[in-house]
Amino acid sequence: MSSAPNAAAPIVRIRDLRKSFGSHLVLGGIDFDVEPSQVVVVIGPSGSGKSTFLRCCNGLEVPEGGRVEICDRTLVDNGRLLPDAELNTLREEVGMVFQSFNLFPHLSALHNVALAPRKLRGLSREQADAEAHALLAKVGLAEKADAMPASLSGGQKQRVAIARALAMKPRVMLFDEPTSALDPELVGEVLQVMKVLAGEGMTMMVVTHEMNFAREVADVVVVMDHGTIIETGAPEQIFTEPTQPRTREFLQAVLNRG
């Protein structure tokens, strides 16, 4: 195996990922690679292990078996997580966006974005604030810089959360059901920001129930069920001619819902 990173090498490499909570098997051996600049959308019924899979990619969950390599480093190997110091620097390169936003409620939108760069990237307050302003402008919230999270709508909160993750200049972005907690009319503004990111070549792994987003933006769609990947393919293939009956059942259920 070559150790020199090059453009063609996968930026995320997952081998035989296994995880259970007590006696409940959540991930039953997952193998998957993500190429740089790829947008991977993970779909599947709830309880299929999608979120756990994503959370294993930045060490929020520790799988008990298998291996995750990300951004040229081994995050976890056979239940052994990277030591804390290295884990922290690796996490700077892997942005995470949560279903429940998890904005820091005691800080303004601007300081939510500027906190980590100031503390971790050693930026001065002025530099960090300037970068945060630019990121808020990018997600369309320039005028909300001084707003506290409690006064923002769900869609605005999630866009601040995306800006906050981008502030560490990550190489990979993980999205864990970023629109599932939003009112339907607010979903579009968040997906729009994600589309722009994808267009800029950001490597993205997205767990979502937004099938239209998957269809339009994904390079690869991964279908999970019962802790395993049952099907992988380009969106047109997954959505028009899925090979697995369980994929078909799932898509039928989801698409008929709207």
Which residues of this protein are in contact with other proteins, per CB under 8 A? 58, 60, 84-85, 88-92, 94-96, 98, 100, 102-106, 115-116, 119-120, 148, 150, 161, 164-165, 168
Considering the complex, what minimum distance in angstroms separates the CB of residue 164 from other proteins? 7
Q: Are 78 and 66 in contact (CB under 8 A)?
A: yes
| Cα(38)–Cα(186) distance, integer angstroms | 25
- Residue placing its CB nearer to other proteins in the complex, 173 or 220: 173
- Give residues with Cβ within 8 angstroms of 159, minimum separation 6: 139, 140, 141, 189, 190, 193
Calculated CA dihedral for residues 145, 146, 147, 153, nearest 10 degrees:
0
Nearest to 161, CA basis, from 143, 179, 185, 188: 179
Considering the complex, what minimum distance in angstroms separates the CB of residue 79 from other proteins? 15
- Residue placing its CB nearer to other proteins in the complex, 4 or 150: 150
Q: Are 104 and 179 in contact (CB under 8 A)?
A: no
- Residue placing its CB nearer to other proteins in the complex, 18 or 91: 91
- Residue placing its CB nearer to other proteins in the complex, 161 or 187: 161
Considering the complex, what minimum distance in angstroms separates the CB of residue 120 from other proteins? 5
Considering the complex, what minimum distance in angstroms separates the CB of residue 86 from other proteins? 11
- Give residues with Cβ within 8 angstroms of 217, minimum separation 6: 39, 41, 194, 195, 198
- Residue placing its CB nearer to other proteins in the complex, 121 or 215: 121
Considering the complex, what minimum distance in angstroms separates the CB of residue 222 from other proteins? 21
Considering the complex, what minimum distance in angstroms separates the CB of residue 103 from other proteins? 8
Considering the complex, what minimum distance in angstroms separates the CB of residue 207 from other proteins? 15
8 dihedral zone (left: phi>0; alpha: psi -120 to 50; beta): alpha
- Residue placing its CB nearer to other proteins in the complex, 4 or 85: 85
- Residue placing its CB nearer to other proteins in the complex, 119 or 248: 119
Q: What is the DSSP string of 106-151?
A: TS-HHHHHHHHHHHHS---HHHHHHHHHHHHHHTT-GGGTT--GGG
Locate 119 and state its tokens: 């503390």
